[in-house]
Structure 1
Amino acid sequence: MADNPSLHRHDTTDPITPSTTTSARSSKSEPTTPSSTTPPTGSATTPPPRAGRRAWLGLAALMLPVLLVSIDNTVLSFAIPQLSQALSPTASQLLWIVDIYPLMLAGLLVTMGTLGDRVGRRRLLLIGATGFGAVSVYAAFAGDASHLIAARALLGLFGATLMPSTLALLRNLFLDDNQRRLAIAIWASAFSAGSALGPIVGGWLLEHFWWGSIFLINVPVLVVLLVVAPFLLPESRNPGSVRLDPVSVVLSVVSMLPFVFGIKKLASSGISTLGVASLLLGVVLGVVFVRRQVRSRTPLLEVGLFKNRVFSASVLANFMAIFSISGLIFFVSQYLQLVLDLSPMEAGLYLLPGAAATVVMGLAAVVLARVAPIWLLIPTGLLLATAGYLLGTTLTGSSSVGVIVVIFVLVGGGAGLAETLTNDAILASVPPERAGAASGISETAYELGASLGVAILGSVLAAVYRTRLELPAGLDPAVADQAQQTLGGAVSAADGLPAGQADALLEAARSAFAHGVDLTSAIGAVLAFLTAVSIGIALRSAQRATRRAGLVEV
């Protein structure tokens, strides 16, 4: 990038381009010392060996878990209406069902990357795939919301073993620079393919089977991985990896859970002792975690990286890009099915243009970065998301589906542009030997953005829905309580009511939900806009500082 504010370092590491950095969201996937089982990469006179057919088949195997994790991030949103009616979760439980998975991922990615370095990446991948498959069966047949939340938490735990292992193994399969770049680009395409396939696959399954089928599709794919991986993937580990700190591992997870719970509680019940206490507990535990990392000689999270302004700004932009699109998917999928009364398959097809826009803008970032600076391009992506959210403030109970399509295209395209460039900036802004830690932080920001996008915007939506819902007179108290929890609960409650009363309840519920979407969209627009402005200023300032110092830019 001609205008990247990162400093050029005189080393032999290949520059990281936007087309490959999306795949770099893994924690500590790059060993700091040569793996005991990794072939030598060649010298100045001897080029590294080129990969053969077995390595490319191994790449296909490594794409399987990536595809599943990506599909799982989008397919659940389309099952919310059905599982809401089947399990009758409260508003708080519904949010936990959605975001406990990315929360566990975010808390454990760095830990699992370090663990794979020590015990073996292929071994950890196989353990994670086995656990992910078994828990998928548990989730599919969960009898109530509590069991589904527990299953989703376990899916997050085992899912955290998959991403670091796949990228680390890929780097050991492809030692030639050109082949490795191509392999990483292909591997990264599984993310985009999963996001695009999630709504379609989920929609088809939900039209033909019950909501649990979205979890069962994981099983046959993981069985294939477990069969072929031992033959196609060589084991590798890093004998020089750092010692795991159990206290830091625990703190990295438990600091997030009370923080998010506090947000949900305050949004759902207003100011309460439990909500405030949970929020403060999360903040205190987070501070304790950070202080421990600062003092440790072998930190789980390298906090010192945040002293670099380019790095910090890019991590924030990465977080906000995913925050925007995750929060949007959560309520748009419900709006399409429960307000506009579309089938799951139809809803998935209408969101496909937005998923495609994410892919297209991510690829376009490679070309755009050659002619424009990232301090302009990254805020532009966030401003596109802002425009999408502003359009979302116009939604009513009878809005056209075309409006939803445009909203999702704007937010998805903006997120694709910003995220691709932020990943590049994150890795380019740190020394090569710290790229593994940087990529771990990038992945954590991604998962935290996904979780908090649902937690914060979803909590606001739930709160507005309850306060704006005007129930028709004469409802049974149990029916009224069910309708007040979620829009899905109102639709389910209406099924057992007389026609006139059912129509009145549905109209009131859909109107209240639309009001919630309007306010949620306004908050999303403000957050995206403020982030765009602050990121633009920070990156521009860093570029000017680089020029004043007389250093060469990347």
Structure 2
Amino acid sequence: MRNRCPSAADARAGWRQWAAVALLALPMLMTALDTSVLYLALPHLSLALGATSVQQLWILDIYVFLVAGLLMTMGTVGERIGRRRLLLAGAAAFGAASVLAAYSTSVAMLVVARAAMGIAGAALLPTALSLISCIFVDARRRAAAIAIGSSCVMIGAAIGPVAGGLLLGRFWWGSVFLVGAVGMVVLLAAGPLILPEYRRAEVKRPDLTSVVLSLVAILSVVYGVKELARNGWHPIHIVMIVAGASVGAAFLFRQRFLADPLVNLSLFRRRRFTGAFVVMLGSQIVLGGTYVFIPLYLQLVQGFTPVHAGAWLVPQSVTAVVSTQLSLYFVRRFPLSAVLAGALIVCMTGCVLLVAGSGLWLVIAGSLVLYLGVLPVVTLASDLVVGSVDAAGAGSVSSLLQTNNHLGSAVGLAFLGSIGSAVYRGATELPLGLRADQAEQAKEGLSGALAVAARLPAGDGDRLVDSARQGFVMSMHVVGGLGALAMLALAVFAFILLRPRPGPGDGPRGGVSTTGAARRARSAPSAPRK
């Protein structure tokens, strides 16, 4: 069957619909957990396989590159072959690649497995979101379902270090990959029984030129910004970013003349659709550049183990889930623009707390408040974007939304990370007598300074540690301050641009921004015709 998703006449949400949401949240949880746990397992697998520093970067980055590069293409493929079919195929591929990664006997084998996981991940993420949009016709239930998926991404990222530490303490390094395989087995077993299928009645073959252009553009930009964040400003990195942006411009120009484009540019003529995209992009940039400091602070400044640091981050995910449910309550009583602006002000407050001091509890409070605001922003903006199109367009819009999030995180890490690195280098004072290679390593980052200090005499080593930690905290303060200003600007932008205005709506299904007054107006009897 081509379309078995509920219609407006069947809008009630029973146990089957919520069970489907739980299944669709599973790949979001597993992919986030897999990414976060790999950072903890990397030293162990590098020692076992003899991976060099360059090979370690490929093990980490090949997954991100392929996910970001193939998201938009996979959205179109799902419309053609069926969203559930693509989801289950991605789950099978992700599970098999996870087993291959777990039992890899060489670096090359592990890189190939991670590449396969990236291709599968690109099929899983947008398809899961578009199926959620297809399952729920009612805007309130759809927003709650999207909130569950977004919460699972946050929870997976937070519990990854804890779960990885427990596994690595009892099993070999490959065990961290088997968690994802188990999750995919559950999805494959229950998916055909619970998940609905959706396939557009008429869809043309994807434009291969557009596929190649989008892949080249996104890979070039993501590679350039990641290298910029890792190694600083270099002409080749700028060339990659400019080249990717130029190819991206050619891709967008081509979409204007296609009957069935990968990206429907006419959607951006809708004020609220464009506004929600800008809010999502801006918040992901700030989060990508700011939040990376928190686990580094816990491990390198406070001296916690990765498992201990991960445990400090778990309550933030729980708080974020609660705040999302509260935002869904508020958005039924106040305009969406006001609730989104309020959530962004909460994010701004979290960034301000990161600037206010360097004590453990203050930093934890800042990160907790930041999470308190950011998940409602992601949930409400995502629902507004997905709700702006009908079920037929949900696949491509979900892919575009996921690509937007990946690019925002990468740009934030590169831009704000580069500023933080510059502040750190300027604030860190090195002891006299260091060799050139030691000075360069200490200036690269706090972890490098700690490694150099461990090889120095006690007095010089202690002074370097104190100075490097102060430089790191100062860089966190500067980046937090910039994040606060950006969140304030986004709050003003959201409040002004996303305000409801009289006239036609912004999409066929709408979002969760219906206020009590609007509902009462719709339910009031209409005037009799003359």
**TM > 0.5 between the two?**
yes
CA 1:495/1:524 → structure 2, altered by over 3 Å: closer, same or farther? same
Q: What is aligned with 1:543? A: 501
Aligned pair partner of 1:127 in 74, 89, 114: 89
1:197 Cα deviation after fit: 4.8
Q: Which amino acid aligns with 2:472?
A: F
Distance change (3 Å), C-alpha of 1:513 and 1:149? farther
Query: Residue 343 of structure 1 aligns with which residue?
Result: 305
Measure the CA separation in 2 of the matches of 1:432 and 1:225: 22
3-state SS in 2 of match to 1:244 = coil
Q: In the superposition, relative to structure 1, how do residues 525 and 149 fare at CA in structure 2: closer, same or farther (>3 Å)?
A: farther
| 2:475 corresponds to 1:532 | no
TM-score (norm 1): 0.76
- Structure 2 Cα separation of the partners of residues 491 and 367 of structure 1: 47
Alpha carbons of 1:361 and 1:78: their partners in 2 closer, same or farther (altered >3 Å)? farther
What's the counterpart of residue 321 of structure 1? 283
- Contact 1:319–1:445 under 8 Å retained in 2: yes
CA distance in 2, matches of 1:105, 1:411: 26
Whole-Å Cα distance in 1 between the matches of residues 142 and 291 of structure 2? 30
Q: Per-residue deviation at 1:285?
A: 1.1
**What is the correspondence of 1:446-457 to structure 2 with a 5 Å cutoff?**
446-457=405-416
User: Aligned-pair distance for 1:415?
Assistant: 1.1
Q: Which residue of 2 aligns with 1:465?
A: 424
Superposition TM-score, scaled by structure 2 size? 0.79
Distance in structure 2 (CA, Å) of the matches to 1:193 and 1:50: 20
CA shift, 1:306, in A, is 0.6
Asked if 1 retains the 8 angstrom alpha-carbon contact of 2:424 and 2:475, the reply is yes
Aligned positions of 1:375-386 closer than 5 A? 375-386=337-348
Instruction: Say whether residues 1:393 and 2:355 are aligned partners.
Output: yes
Cα deviation 1:298-349 (Å, max 9, x = unaligned): 1001111111111111111122233333333322111111111112233223
Change (3 A) 1:43 1:186: closer
Distance 1:141 1:493 in 2: 35
1:172-198 CA distances to partner (integer Å, 9 max, x unpaired)? Answer: 8x69x68x9869845752441452354
Q: Secondary structure at the match of 1:543?
A: coil
SS at match of 2:95: helix
Q: How far is the alpha carbon of 1:380 from its aligned partner? A: 1.9
> Is residue 411 of structure 2 the alignment partner of residue 411 of structure 1?
no
Partner of 2:331: 369
Task: Return 5+ residue gaps in structure 1 as ranges.
Answer: 1-34
Distance change in 2, residues 1:371/1:420 (3 Å): same
By how many angstroms is 1:111 displaced?
1.5
User: Does residue 331 of structure 1 match 2:293?
Assistant: yes
Are the equivalent residues in 1 in contact too, given 2:442–2:450 (CA < 8 A)? yes
Choose the corresponding residue for 1:109, options 34, 51, 71. Answer: 71
CA RMSD of aligned residues (A): 4.1
Give distance in 1, aligned partners of 2:236 and 2:7: 59
Q: Aligned partners of 2:41, 2:336: CA distance in 1, in Å?
A: 37
Q: Aligned partners of 1:377, 1:205: CA distance in 2, in Å?
A: 36
3-state SS of paired residue (1:217): helix
Q: What's 1:512 paired with?
A: 471
CA separation in 1, counterparts of 2:255 and 2:305?
Answer: 48
Equivalent positions of 1:84-483 (< 5 A) are: 89=53, 101-102=63-64, 104-136=66-98, 154-167=116-129, 185=144, 188-206=147-165, 209=168, 214-229=176-191, 237-264=199-226, 272-395=234-357, 399-430=358-389, 434-475=393-434, 477-483=436-442
CA contact (8 A) 2:354 2:366 kept: yes
Q: Distance in 2 between matches of 1:463 and 1:88?
A: 27
Counterparts of 1:298 and 1:129 in 2: how far apart (Å)? 27
- Segments of 5+ residues of structure 2 without an aligned counterpart are 506-516, 520-530
Task: Report the Cα offset of residue 426 of structure 1.
Answer: 2.4
Alignment coverage as a number of residue pairs:
503
**Aligned-pair CA distance for 1:99:** 6.7
Find the aligned partners of 1:477 and 1:141 in 2 and give their Cα distance. Answer: 41
Q: Which moved more, 1:451-460 or 1:286-295?
A: 451-460
1:528, distance to aligned residue in structure 2 (A): 1.9
Relative contact order higher in (CA < 8 Å, ≥ 6 apart): 1
Q: Deviations over 1:471-527 (max 9, x none)?
A: 334445555444443433333444455544443343233222222212222222222
Q: Which SS does the other structure have where 1:393 is aligned? A: helix
Aligned counterparts of 1:77 and 1:389: Cα–Cα separation in 2: 25
- Please tell me the residue identity of whatever aligns with 1:313: G
Change (3 A) 1:218 1:453: same
In 2, distance between residues paired with 1:507 and 1:145? 37
**Structure 1 CA distance, aligned partners of 2:45 and 2:424?**
19
Change (3 A) 1:171 1:281: closer
**2:229, 2:65 → 1: CA distance?**
18
2:182 and 2:438 map into 1 onto residues whose CA distance is 40
Overall identity of the aligned pairs, in %: 34
Q: Secondary structure at the match of 2:203?
A: coil
Contact persistence 1:468–1:515 (CA under 8 A): yes
The amino acid across from 1:281 in the alignment is: A
Residue of structure 2 equivalent to 1:9: none
Q: Is contact 2:431-2:460 (8 Å) kept?
A: yes
Q: Partners of 2:5 and 2:336 in 1: how far apart?
A: 36
Query: Quick check: 2:151–2:321 contact (8 Å CA) kept in 1?
Result: yes
Equivalent residue number for residue 525 of structure 2? none
